Amino acid sequence: MTQPTAPKYDFKREHRELYAPSAKAFALVEVPPMQYLAVDGHGDPNEAVAYRQAVEALFGVAYAVKFASRRELGRDFVVAPLEGLWWADDARAFVARDKASWNWTMLIAQPDWIDDETVAAGVDAARAKAAKGGGDVNPALDGLRLLHLHEGTSAQILHVGSYDDEAPTLAHLHDEWMPRHGVTFNGPHHEVYLSDARRTAPEKLRTVLRQPVRPR
């Protein structure tokens, strides 16, 4: 008789408060310690080759880690959506959409049972797959790592629409909502991409906008 299988771990189900906020207004949420596959970079995500390479490396390793976890540990999980930390020397660069000055760390969340060794094996598997296929090995794999992050108290909202239409929402957050609530920045701006931009019309994109905060 076939044994029932445990449901796949799904970040969007287990952490609904982080992945399904209201689109009506900013609200505070407590973000627990989490870990992510991470790749750092700089520049306009629409133009920087390093950005495309980072995203490709993250998903390649994420699936390698998922399959290894299911095969070797008997624990399966849904690959989480792409996320990103964004910052600049001047926070107004985001409202002004000065993308050339942006720094970023692209992320994919990982269950707490995934460790550095498993991630290293996933990177090796991604390299071997590229070599076997006769293609170039993605240079972003060299900088891919497991990042532990505890953002704590954060303000967040669901943005529906083009990424370039985020500016008014971020301006409201920075210039009105945060001063009114007596809080200031406590880490990089964080976005969670719930939609696949390759298959979704810009006006229907769903993105969680999150800002870690602390009392002034």
pLDDT in the model for residue 143 = 96
Q: Is residue 10 a part of any domain in this protein?
A: no
Task: Write out the H or E segment, with its range, that includes residue 67.
Answer: helix 49-68
113 is in which domain, residue-wise? 39-215
Q: Is residue 22 a part of any domain in this protein?
A: no
Q: Distance between CA atoms of 57 and 46, rounded to whole angstroms?
A: 17
Structural domain count of the chain: 1
Q: Is residue 167 a part of any domain in this protein?
A: yes
In the predicted structure, residue 3 carries a pLDDT above the cut 70: no
Task: Indicate which CATH number applies to the domain containing 59.
Answer: 3.20.80.10
Mean pLDDT calculated for residue range 174-179: 96
pLDDT, the chain, mean? 93
In the predicted structure, residue 129 carries a pLDDT above the cut 70: yes
In the predicted structure, residue 1 carries a pLDDT above the cut 90: no
Could you tell me the pLDDT band of residue 5, with boundaries at 50, 70 and 90?
low
Q: Distance between CA atoms of 154 and 102, rounded to whole angstroms?
A: 21
Q: Distance between CA atoms of 206 and 23, rounded to whole angstroms?
A: 10
pLDDT in tens, 98-128: 788 899 999 999 999 999 999 999 999 999 9
Q: Is residue 34 a part of any domain in this protein?
A: no
In the predicted structure, residue 186 carries a pLDDT above the cut 90: yes
Asked if 98 and 88 count as a contact pair (C-beta separation under 8 A), the reply is yes
Q: Is residue 26 a part of any domain in this protein?
A: no
In the predicted structure, residue 94 carries a pLDDT above the cut 80: no
Q: Is residue 140 a part of any domain in this protein?
A: yes
Q: Is residue 152 a part of any domain in this protein?
A: yes
Could you tell me the pLDDT band of residue 157, with boundaries at 50, 70 and 90?
very high
Q: Is residue 14 a part of any domain in this protein?
A: no
Q: Distance between CA atoms of 24 and 26, rounded to whole angstroms?
A: 7
pLDDT in tens, 31-90: 999 999 999 999 999 899 999 999 999 999 999 999 999 999 999 999 999 999 999 887
